[in-house]
C-alpha cells in the first residue's frame, strides 16, 4: 500500500520526536547532575543515526595527525593500519611541517587512503592550526579521530572504538597511557578534573583507574586523543584563527563541544599509547622567536571566550565561538569550577 505525502510527513515528525526523547533522556552512564541539551541539533542526531544503521564492518574512520618534524610520524601511520581490525576503513589526513631533510610521514603503502598537507617547518603555527588543516582533508567518513604523530595503537583499536561509542552526541577522550608502559598497564586513563591553573587557563587532570563496564563521563577533552562521529566537524568546526596556541587548545574545544551538546566520556579500554618524554626532539616553539608574543594574543582570545577574562581581544570569531545547546555557566556548574575563587569542587573519578 502506497503512503501519501501527509502520512510520510506525520510518521517522520513522530520519529523525530521519539529520537529527541531518546537523545535527551539520561543514559545508563555514571552521570551526576547531568545537564541535557536544551536545543538539540536535529541534523547532528540524524547523521549519527544514519552511521549506526550501517553494518559496523562497513563504517569508515578519518584520523587527523598533525606532525612537526616528528621522526615517529611514519611509525604512527603504520600502526594505524597494521593494528586496525579492518585497515580498509581507515583514512588519514596529515599536516606535516618538516625541514627538507626530515623523515616524511607518508609510507609507500596505503597511499590511496592517506591525504597530506606539506608545510615547511618555518610555516608552522602550532598544533591547533595544524589540526585545523588536517580537518580540511576530511571527506565524509563516518567517524573522526584525532591523535598525535607519536602514538602507538592497540590491536583492533578501530573495532573497539566503534563498539564503544554510544548512539548519541558522544566524544571518547583521554590522555593516552605512556608508551613506556606498553604491555604493563592494565588501568585506563581518565580525566578526573578540569581546573584553572596559575596562568588563568582551564586544564585537565588525569589519573589511571581500573576500567569500568560503563563509560565514565569526563569534564575535559584531550587533544592527543579523541574519537567521535564525523558530523562533529560540521557541528563544531575547527577555528583556523588560533595561531601558536598550545595550552588553551583543549580548553576551548572542550567547551565548544560541550555547549554544542556533545557529551564527553573516557574509553573503558586502552586504545593507544603516547610518547610523552620527547627530550631533544624538535618543537615548533624552539624555532619561532615570535612564539611567546603570538601565543599571548591567542590565549587572550581563548580566555575571553571561556569567560576567564572580560577584555575583548581582536579577532574573535563569532561563528566559531561557543555552542547554543548548553551555556558556558552550565559547563562550569557541571565540572564544578567556581570562577570567583578559581577552585574545582568536583572529581569525576
* pLDDT tens digits, 321-337: 899 999 999 999 999 99
Cα-Cα-Cα-Cα dihedral sign, residues 96, 99, 103, 108: positive
- What pLDDT does 321 receive? 83
Element (H, E) at 118: strand 114-120
Q: Residue 264's beta-bridge partner residues?
A: 171
From 158, 58, 65, 61, select the one nearest 115 (Cα to Cα): 65
* pLDDT tens digits, 37-57: 777 889 999 999 999 999 999
- The model's pTM: 0.89
Give the strand pairing for 188-196 and 216-217: unpaired
Annotation: CATH topology of 42-277+284-344: Spore Coat Polysaccharide Biosynthesis Protein SpsA; Chain A (3.90.550)
- What pLDDT does 346 receive? 95
- What pLDDT does 27 receive? 42
* pLDDT tens digits, 244-263: 999 999 999 999 999 999 99
Confidence of residue 182 (pLDDT cuts 50, 70, 90): confident
Q: What average pLDDT does the structure give for the chain?
A: 88
Rounded Cα gap, residues 61 and 271, in angstroms:
14
- What pLDDT does 137 receive? 98
* pLDDT (average), residues 113-134: 95
- What pLDDT does 186 receive? 85
DSSP string computed for 130-151: HHHHHHTT--S-SEEEEEESSE
Rounded Cα gap, residues 290 and 287, in angstroms:
9
* pLDDT (average), residues 26-32: 41
Contact 273, 37 (CB under 8 A): no
Confidence of residue 291 (pLDDT cuts 50, 70, 90): confident
Rounded Cα gap, residues 4 and 17, in angstroms:
20
Q: What share of residues in the chain are helix, strand, coil (percent, to 5)?
A: 35, 20, 45
- What pLDDT does 26 receive? 40
Q: Residue 118's beta-bridge partner residues?
A: 96
- Mapping DSSP to helix (H, G, I), strand (E, B) and coil, where does residue 117 land? strand
Contact 270, 181 (CB under 8 A): no
Q: Lowest-pLDDT range, 163-167, 227-231, 290-294?
A: 290-294
* pLDDT tens digits, 129-149: 999 999 999 999 999 999 999
Q: Given a cut of 70, is residue 18 above it in pLDDT?
A: no
* pLDDT (average), residues 289-312: 86
* pLDDT tens digits, 306-318: 999 988 777 676 5
Category of 126 on φ-ψ map: left (φ > 0), alpha (ψ -120 to 50) or beta: left
Amino acid at each position: 500500500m502506497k503512503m501519501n505525502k501527509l502520512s510520510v510527513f506525520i510518521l517522520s515528525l513522530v520519529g523525530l520526536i521519539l529520537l529527541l526523547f531518546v537523545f535527551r533522556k539520561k543514559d545508563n552512564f555514571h552521570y551526576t547532575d547531568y545537564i541535557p541539551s536544551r536545543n538539540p541539533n536535529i541534523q547532528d542526531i540524524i547523521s549519527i543515526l544514519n552511521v549506526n544503521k550501517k553494518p559496523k564492518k562497513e563504517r569508515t574512520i578519518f584520523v587527523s595527525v598533525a606532525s612537526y618534524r616528528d621522526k615517529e610520524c611514519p611509525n604512527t601511520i603504520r600502526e594505524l593500519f597494521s593494528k586496525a581490525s579492518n585497515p580498509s576503513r581507515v583514512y588519514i589526513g596529515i599536516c606535516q611541517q618538516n625541514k627538507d631533510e626530515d623523515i616524511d610521514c607518508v609510507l609507500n603503502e596505503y597511499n590511496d587512503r592517506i591525504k597530506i598537507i606539506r608545510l615547511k617547518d618555518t610555516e608552522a603555527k602550532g598544533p591547533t592550526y595544524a589540526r585545523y588543516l588536517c580537518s580540511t582533508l576530511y571527506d565524509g567518513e563516518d567517524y573522526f579521530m584525532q591523535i598525535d604523530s607519536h602514538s602507538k595503537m592497540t590491536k583492533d583499536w578501530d573495532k573497539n572504538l566503534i563498539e564503544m561509542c554510544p548512539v548519541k552526541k558522544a566524544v571518547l577522550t583521554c590522555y593516552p597511557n605512556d608508551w613506556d608502559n606498553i604491555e604493563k598497564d592494565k588501568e585506563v586513563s581518565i580525566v578526573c578534573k578540569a581546573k584553572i591553573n596559575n596562568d588563568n587557563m582551564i586544564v585537565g587532570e588525569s589519573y589511571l583507574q581500573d576500567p569500568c563496564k560503563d563509560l565514565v563521563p569526563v569534564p575535559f577533552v584531550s587533544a592527543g586523543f579523541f574519537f567521535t562521529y564525523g558530523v562533529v566537524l560540521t557541528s563544531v568546526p575547527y577555528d583556523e584563527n588560533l595561531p601558536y596556541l598550545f595550552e588553551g587548545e583543549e580548553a576551548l574545544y572542550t567547551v565548544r563541544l560541550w555547549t554544542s551538546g556533545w557529551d564527553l566520556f573516557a574509553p573503558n579500554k586502552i586504545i593507544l599509547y603516547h610518547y610523552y618524554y620527547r627530550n631533544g626532539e624538535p618543537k615548533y616553539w624552539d624555532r619561532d622567536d615570535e612564539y611567546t608574543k603570538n601565543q599571548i594574543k591567542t590565549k587572550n582570545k581563548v580566555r575571553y571566550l571561556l569567560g576567564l577574562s572580560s577584555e575583548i581581544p581582536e579577532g574573535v570569531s563569532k561563528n566559531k565561538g561557543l555552542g547554543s545547546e548548553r551555556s558556558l555557566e552550565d559547563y562550569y556548574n557541571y565540572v564544578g569550577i567556581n570562577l570567583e575563587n578559581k577552585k574545582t569542587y568536583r572529581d569525576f573519578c
